[in-house]
Amino acid sequence: MILSGIMAIAGLVTSAVAGVVTSNIKVPPPNPIPVVIQGIPNFSVSKFEAQGVVLSDRNYISFHLTPYPGATPTHCFAIGTTAAHMLTTIPQTWCTPINTTDPSSSSTPSTPTASSDPTSNSRVWFSWTMGEDVDPTAPTASGIFGMAQTTGAYIKVVRQVDERTRDEAVRHVPAWYLGRQGEGMLEHQVFSGPSNFSLLALRFTGEEH
């Protein structure tokens, strides 16, 4: 039963790969120097999942993100490549607004089309950085969120409000939430932390340079 569930996930991931990889999404560069910082409501995360897929060279991150109370939730989903069924760093990836009137849209990863529309007001992207890929000497490592730990992973979510304004959250995921499960060919890395949580978000407003 476990294996069939795993195979279902593997199939899901495989069928979604083409859409994710071929969509030529352009993510604006993060704004390095904030001029104004404001507190805003927390981002709300639900259905968070992250794992290396057994019997596959893929891993995936999937969650729903509601950037502020009453906002349309977006589905944040990305697939990585792993030789060892481990999680890997995932670069900036657009999230896709969830069609709340279509019951099938919330459970099935869909091709990110609507979210790459630059006029959309729900432009949310995320990234996932493994601790081993963190550069503690980078200028951003000691930034307001601090991204300097070389264990676990960092999840970053950004809502690009307009060209100069973004709402941003960064949270460290401790290594003990990212253990390995299963044995032999079923061994894989799985996020075992809570699936629902909130992210402290801040609004940054500033010049592009």
Binding residues (CB under 6 A) for ligand NAG: these are 42, 46, 99, 101-102, 195-196, 198-200
| Residue number closest to ligand NAG, CB atom | 102
Which DSSP state fits 153? E
Distances (CA, A) of 31 to 89, 106, 165, 168, 196: 21, 31, 8, 10, 28
Q: Compute, in degrees rounded to 10, the torsion defined by CA atoms 137, 139, 142, 146.
A: -100
Torsion over CA: 16, 10, 78, 185 (sign):
negative
Dihedral through CA 141, CA 138, CA 32, CA 66, nearest 10?
-40
